Amino acid sequence: MCGGRGTRLESSHEKPLQPIASEAMVDRVRRALAASRVETTYAVVSPNAPETRAHLEGVLPTVETPGEGYVTDLGVALERQEVEPPVLTVAADLPLLEGEVIDRVLEEYERRMGGRGDRGSLTVCVPAALKRRLGVSCETVLESESDDTELAPTGVNVVGSDPQRQMTYLSDDPRLAINVNRPIDVDRAEERYRCE
């Protein structure tokens, strides 16, 4: 998913092209997907990010969406005939993401599905407290169904064919916690990258 406006980022770059350690975030995410067991990757683009579309042209197949928001654009992408659930969706604002993290999400999804025919969806979250501890923005907070823990969606999801079956996977991995939405997030991602 790389077609957002990125207005909160206050950058001269389109959000997916924001460099972290001299590499565009979308390229970092693309590299993580290539290092995972994901078989096919599509770049979901929109009129809001024409430079990103041009940057990815010839590199990844693209799915053009209207740019009306994450949910609408995701719906358009999922309607494509060649896209069959379950589908892993990844936001382009996760510059520290790595293939092993993606594989862990896929393994958790498969474990929970257990070979059943009904294919629910999995939302990957981190504790909101982890984002605060890392000093990054926390734009959306959900309540845990099992306790009082505040959860923050990561931008990584597995979308299944059964919309009634929703599951949450809670991870403490900082690589999933640093979504770049604001200037402070760029700083924290750069710092974390230098430390790894």
Reported as a single tens digit per residue, the pLDDT across 122-170 is 999 999 999 999 999 998 888 777 777 899 999 999 999 887 889 999 9
Mean of pLDDT values over 49-70: 94
The residues spanned by each domain of the chain are 7-195
Q: Looking at residue 163, what is its pLDDT?
A: 75
* Nearest CA-CA partner of 131 in 101, 171, 85, 79: 171
Q: What are the distances in angstroms from CA 136 to CA 64, 93, 185, 187?
A: 30, 13, 5, 9
Mean of pLDDT values over 188-195: 93
Cβ atoms 1, 78 nearer than 8 A: no
Q: Looking at residue 1, what is its pLDDT?
A: 87
Higher-pLDDT residue of 5, 194: 194
Question: Which CATH number is associated with domain 7-195?
Answer: 3.90.550.10
Q: Looking at residue 82, what is its pLDDT?
A: 86
Of 89-93, 118-122, 179-183, the range with the lowest mean pLDDT is: 118-122
Rounded CA-CA distance 171/189 in Å is 18
Cβ atoms 111, 104 nearer than 8 A: no
Mean pLDDT of the residues in the chain: 92
Pure H helices in the chain: 25-34, 50-56, 70-78, 99-113, 128-134, 174-177, 183-195
Q: Looking at residue 60, what is its pLDDT?
A: 96
Q: Dig out the tokens for 194 from the structure.
A: 């230098």
Tell me what percent of the residues of the chain surpass a pLDDT of 70.
98
Confidence category of residue 117, pLDDT binned at 50, 70, 90: low
What is the tens place of the pLDDT at every residue in 20-56?
Answer: 999 999 999 999 999 999 999 999 999 999 999 999 9
Mean of pLDDT values over 186-193: 95
Q: What are the distances in angstroms from CA 60 to CA 35, 42, 84?
A: 15, 6, 18
Q: Looking at residue 93, what is its pLDDT?
A: 96
Higher-pLDDT residue of 142, 116: 142
